[in-house]
Structure 1
């Protein structure tokens, strides 16, 4: 589904996120994804590696529902170490673009003391707006 980025007149440019998104269609809520594989194994112990895997997991769920990265309208990030995130912002941006391209939905980041999985350094949840069903029997 096409989305429209909302940016109020006179505001400084948003860097790496949108202030708002407008979309119409089916809403997909993607539960928080952490940096483990489909087999629930942490192959990466570092923040960037786990972030990349979490984003790939989100992409996989959206694609399984018949959508694409461009359909994602919101990401909420939960990170356990703000200093690690800030120290790696350049790497974060490059890794993000490798998985998500130049699609920057509305985003929020929250620093938390811990996540349920002890090894997890980041958890990301997403909202996507998908095209209407064309084949209701297949769910797409």
Structure 2
């Protein structure tokens, strides 16, 4: 099995021992993105909405670096520290994804890295 490491400076650098994404065959596994601004490497979002936009923006940058875009995402997992933010995710997600939407799960968790409110990872298939 050949694996290709995907990296872009248009998304935050990995904080730990992982890659932004790995491609194997036509499948790309995008690591979780939190709302870090790739220019500053810091969370600068003040609201949940801003964090959600930054997360999807970061995912889009990694998807594009892999040779695709968010339309190629088949599975999306969103992690929220407050499930009351789910309607915000739904609304903002429609700005980044179009029909047919990817399969998705939203998971409520106690905390996320660097005190952020949202993280998302994805699986993308390229034809």
Give the TM-score normalised by the residue count of structure 1.
0.66
Is the Cα–Cα contact under 8 Å of residues 26 and 129 in structure 1 kept in the other structure? yes
- Cα RMSD after superposing both structures: 1.6
Gaps of 5+ in 2: 1-24
State the Cα deviation string for residues 52-78 of structure 1 (Å, max 9, x = none): 110111111011111011110001111
SS of 1:52's equivalent?
helix
Alignment-derived partner of residue 32 in structure 1? 32
State the Cα deviation string for residues 20-39 of structure 1 (Å, max 9, x = none): xxxxx611000000111113
Greater radius of gyration (CA): 1
SS of 1:96's equivalent?
helix
Q: How many corresponding residue pairs?
A: 102
Gaps of 5+ in 1: 1-24, 132-140
Alignment-derived partner of residue 68 in structure 1? 69
Q: Which has the higher strand share?
A: 2
**Equivalence map 1:81-100=2 (5 Å):** 81-83=82-84, 85-86=85-86, 89=87, 91-100=88-97
Give the TM-score normalised by the residue count of structure 2.
0.73
Is the Cα–Cα contact under 8 Å of residues 78 and 123 in structure 1 kept in the other structure? yes
